Structure 1
Amino acid sequence: MTIKTVSDLQIGIKLAEDVYTPLGGLLMQKGKVLLPRDIEVLKAFMVEQVTVESVEGDSTRVPTVKSAGQKPSLLFSEQPQASAEEESSARKEQSLHEEYDKMLALIKRCYQSAITGELHMYEVRRQMQQLLEHQKDYYALKFIPRVTNRHDYRYHHAVLCALSSYKLAQWVGLPEKEWMQVAFAGLLHDIGNVRIDPIILNKPSKLTQEEQEEVRRHTTYGYQILKNVAAVNEGVRLAALQHHEKVDGTGYPLKLEGSRIHMYAKIVAVTDVFHAMTLDKFHRNAQSSYAVLEQLHLESFGKLDPMLVQTFIQRLTSFHHGMRVRLSNGSLGEIVFTDSKHPTRPMVSVHGEIVNLAQQRHLFIQEVIY
């Protein structure tokens, strides 16, 4: 290992130790291969020196020239490996989308069969297992289904809630044996909507008081549909019944307070709000994921379980350094640092300048690009 000043760093050198900001926040992780933007970020955070690997040739490599008359290209020996990693990532993403589409088609059929009280849970479990084999490649902030339309909103919402609820169950330390059941809770929490008039569900204008009361009945309808389904446990049934309850007792249908709401229902309540706001609906366009996370944070005061909300936000935003984003003013940039105190307002590099969204409150991340 070698300690180098930031001004002496060269492109392609690898960090041997984590790099922290002067205030103690993790800026870059051990093993990161430095790119030009990374060196600029280190300078922007006034990091004076870092520890790098002293592998022969790492610090002295120069870009190779493709051919005479062309500009130098930053091609190093790692480039083929990076391409292989990109191909592997593309294959994983393709597999995730394929299993997602199969699950989407299946939940459509389940909604239709649930009208008559039948749910083919053996088939649902088998497909859910195949989908969850790819859950490590699922990132809620960047995953976009290949084909979406407002008519299929409730089916996309169901599958996405299943994936995100499964993740949240892991993050908060629920026993592994419960993870699949939590995924079922996310998938089936709105199954009671099959008994609601589609004209009301798809109405683009504001609902009347009577229509609102009918829509709220989907919670009890859902419990009734699931109560005789042997493949799900009571937590799944209670998630259908209780996912609109609020921890302060102002929710529905039973106005339960936090201690009386089942953990599955609390988990699904968080993912339900997130995906409801980040998908296109008949009466509302999809909103920015980061803007929704900020609203979730506000909702946690007296409405949603604050521990679950905090965990959800922190885990979703903790591993997105290097992600390309579009800001609300149209600028394209890259997330370079996320402060745990302001997880929805990271620092973004835009044309070599650091934009601190925690300070520039008039801006926010409008879109995650990749």
Structure 2
Amino acid sequence: MELSEGIIVMASISIVELKPGVKLSKEVYTPLGGMLFRKGTVLLPRELDILRAFMVQYVEVDTGEVESKRTAKPAVDKSSLSEQSLSDEAGANKYSTFHEEYDKLISFVKSAYQSALAAELPIYELRNQLEATIGQIKDYNPLTFAPRSMNKYDYIYHNSVLCALSSYLLAKWSGLQQKDWMQAAFAGLFHDIGNIKIDSAILYKPTSLSAAEIEEIRKHTAYGYQILKNVRAVNEGVRLAALQHHEKVDGSGYPLRLDGSKIHIYAKIVGITDIFHAMTLNRVYQKAQSPYLVLEQIHTEAFGKLDPTLVRIFIQKATAIHHGTMVRLSNGQVGEIVFTDSNHPTRPLVSVGGEIVNLTQQRQLHIEEVLSSN
């Protein structure tokens, strides 16, 4: 008599008795309630190390399975390997497409910024290329994306494009209506356009600025608002983002020292993405910093300076999809992110040489550089 369905036997097994290869029959949670592994996860040595790191004592696993001929696994079709190779190649081509659209947008922005003083912004051409780039945004993540080539004197253009992409995502993640997503992207794209009226000797000065030079730099917010004032394809929120993106919710920002209730939502969004990309890109006077350390600094800024809800959303969403990402730690070791606790999203578990490094516990270490993503 053939069985029409598999019979699965489940049991609660002590961690010390677990062998690699068993399958979870029930979700496993951390002591603080975060999901560690989903039902159906096959426990390999790396997963067993994670369970021990979280001091999980028992898990529910499948201890036996009887399968019918109908449900038995088929032999591996060797032709599927070539199909998988084609799939991988297609994925690589998609990522290349995003880079190509990104590079085109950089060229458009560079040309538009340089001509904005003498002529109107080519807003419709910019919008078309921005939409083409956002059409590939599934291949973009703020933490892992890096321009293929970047002259440090082109920082302003890369910062603008990256802020556009990240602001689009943050507007979407935060639950704003869809009509706001593209306008938030415009806010990111044009937030620093006022810098075209700043003397380049000040803008690219490699040493500390004088008090007078700082005051001149701060004028870029008002300059930006004036440049955008007559651009019809953007709404007032985009103009206000240029004016207000350096305001702080406690009223300590500039140029008008507005409190949080008077800062436009686009400006709050761009205020976060601008800080992130300004600190993670190479500049004339500053080397790029670790994106994870920058997120920790932004988290600190959320207490009184930045909108705390938007900061929490940005950090959790940006770090949530990075299991399998290869990173270099601050001690030089290279490892793979294997688990991210939602309570400590900037300090995941990293597998280094078969051992699990818990960055929440080892505070002296941090992720210095993202090397590649899965």
Band the TM-score falls in, shorter-chain normalisation: 0.7 to 0.9
Amino acid at match of 1:25: G
Structure 1 unaligned spans of 5+: 65-74
Q: Is the counterpart of residue 26 in structure 1 residue 45 in structure 2?
A: no
What's the secondary structure of 1:369's corresponding residue?
A: strand
Q: Which residue of 2 aligns with 1:37?
A: 46
Amino acid at match of 1:26: M
Deviates more, 1:82-91 or 1:237-246: 82-91
Instruction: Note the C-alpha offset of 1:34.
Output: 5.6
Change (3 A) 1:8 1:345: closer
Q: Which residue of 1 aligns with 2:58?
A: 48
Instruction: Note the C-alpha offset of 1:38.
Output: 3.1
Instruction: Note the C-alpha offset of 1:319.
Output: 1.7
Q: Which residue of 1 aligns with 2:158?
A: 156
Identity %: 58
Which residues in structure 2 correspond to 1:1-370 (within 5 Å)? 3=10, 5=13, 10-11=20-21, 18-29=27-38, 36-45=45-54, 46=56, 48-51=58-61, 83-370=85-372
Q: Which residue of 1 aligns with 2:5?
A: none
Instruction: Note the C-alpha offset of 1:244.
Output: 0.5
Change (3 A) 1:233 1:317: same
What's the secondary structure of 2:221's corresponding residue?
A: helix
Separation in structure 2 between the aligned mates of residue 193 and residue 232 of structure 1, nearest angstrom: 19
**Contact 2:49 2:356 survives alignment (8 Å):** no
With normalisation by structure 1, the TM-score equals: 0.88
Separation in structure 1 between the aligned mates of residue 255 and residue 320 of structure 2, nearest angstrom: 35
Change (3 A) 1:34 1:135: farther
What's the secondary structure of 2:254's corresponding residue?
A: coil
Instruction: Note the C-alpha offset of 1:192.
Output: 0.4
**Contact 1:291 1:365 survives alignment (8 Å):** yes
Offset from partner CA, 1:149-202 (integer Å, 9 cap, x none): 201111110110000000000111000011000000000000000101111100
Instruction: Note the C-alpha offset of 1:21.
Output: 3.0
Change (3 A) 1:165 1:213: same
Offset from partner CA, 1:55-80 (integer Å, 9 cap, x none): 959xx99xx9xxxxxxxxxx999866
With normalisation by structure 2, the TM-score equals: 0.87
Deviates more, 1:203-212 or 1:80-89: 80-89
**Contact 1:246 1:258 survives alignment (8 Å):** yes
Separation in structure 1 between the aligned mates of residue 9 and residue 94 of structure 2, nearest angstrom: 36
Instruction: Note the C-alpha offset of 1:42.
Output: 3.8
What's the secondary structure of 2:266's corresponding residue?
A: helix
Amino acid at match of 2:30: T
RMSD between aligned alpha carbons?
Answer: 2.7
**Contact 1:99 1:130 survives alignment (8 Å):** yes
Separation in structure 2 between the aligned mates of residue 21 and residue 2 of structure 1, nearest angstrom: 25
Change (3 A) 1:108 1:263: same
Structure 2 unaligned spans of 5+: 1-7
Change (3 A) 1:77 1:188: same
Separation in structure 2 between the aligned mates of residue 20 and residue 302 of structure 1, nearest angstrom: 33
Q: Which residue of 2 aligns with 1:72?
A: none
**Contact 1:347 1:356 survives alignment (8 Å):** yes
**Contact 1:3 1:49 survives alignment (8 Å):** no
Amino acid at match of 1:348: V
Change (3 A) 1:55 1:331: farther
What is the number of residues matched between the two proteins?
A: 355
**Contact 1:153 1:279 survives alignment (8 Å):** yes
Instruction: Note the C-alpha offset of 1:212.
Output: 0.7
Deviates more, 1:202-211 or 1:46-55: 46-55
Q: Which residue of 2 aligns with 1:70?
A: none
**Contact 1:21 1:47 survives alignment (8 Å):** no
Change (3 A) 1:120 1:203: same
Separation in structure 2 between the aligned mates of residue 49 and residue 81 of structure 1, nearest angstrom: 36
